[in-house]
Structure 1
Amino acid sequence: MELVQVVVLLVLIGCALVALGATDLLVAVILFGAFSYGSAILFALMNAVDVGFVEAIIGTVMSLIYISVLFGLERRSSR
């Protein structure tokens, strides 16, 4: 595995861990999108460009759906 692939994989692990600990749903959705694009880049680096392209499309559509649902929700404070 090349050094660039290892770095992208570490960034993916970091995004996943921070998304799990996020208390704000919008932050979690943004990190989910970053994870999706990172995995698309990782697939492209591993010469699976078609899988990376599909991952980027699905990640974009899912992020847009999640964000539209979040804007439809009422935000309230936990205090």
Structure 2
Amino acid sequence: MVEWLLDGLLVVALVVTAVAALCSRDLFRAVVVFIAFGVLMAVAWVRLHAPDIALAEAAIGAGLTGVLLLDAVSHLGSKRLRAQQQGDGRQ
């Protein structure tokens, strides 16, 4: 009974984080929610008795991809800030 409840909560959390990542207008928030989705997905793989896939999901899906996406968002933010500063200086 408790296992079914845990699995149900995990499914709901996965769906909510997936929708939140897709619908977020703030890129940083979307990446953070994506990382949370990857961690929850790793937990789901553990619940499905697939620890090898869970480890790969945690390392690649949440870890490496999350870091690369956060770096990309930071570069986008700095380019946007420079463009705004250049636009303000010309007027």
TM-score (norm 2): 0.77
Match of 2:7 among 1, 5, 8: 5
Task: Tell me, yes or no, if structure 1 residue 49 matches structure 2 residue 51.
Answer: yes
Higher helix share: 2
Partner of 1:29: 31
Does 2:75 align with 1:72?
yes
Query: CA shift at 1:9, angstroms?
Result: 1.0
Root-mean-square deviation (Å): 1.7
SS of residue paired to 1:2: helix
In the alignment, the residues of structure 1 paired with residue 53 and residue 22 of structure 2 have an alpha-carbon distance, to the nearest angstrom, of: 25
Q: Can you give the 5+ residue segments of structure 2 that lack an aligned partner in the other structure?
A: 85-91
Which moved further from structure 2: 18-27 or 67-76? Answer: 67-76
TM-score by length of 1: 0.88
Q: CA deviation at 1:18?
A: 1.1
Equivalent pairs counted in the alignment come to 77
**Structure 1 residue runs of 4 or more that deviate by more than 3 Å after TM superposition:** none
5+ residue gaps, structure 1, are none
Q: Residues of 1 paired with 2:80 and 2:6: CA distance?
A: 39
Shift of 1:43: 0.5
Give 1 or 2 for the bigger CA radius of gyration.
2
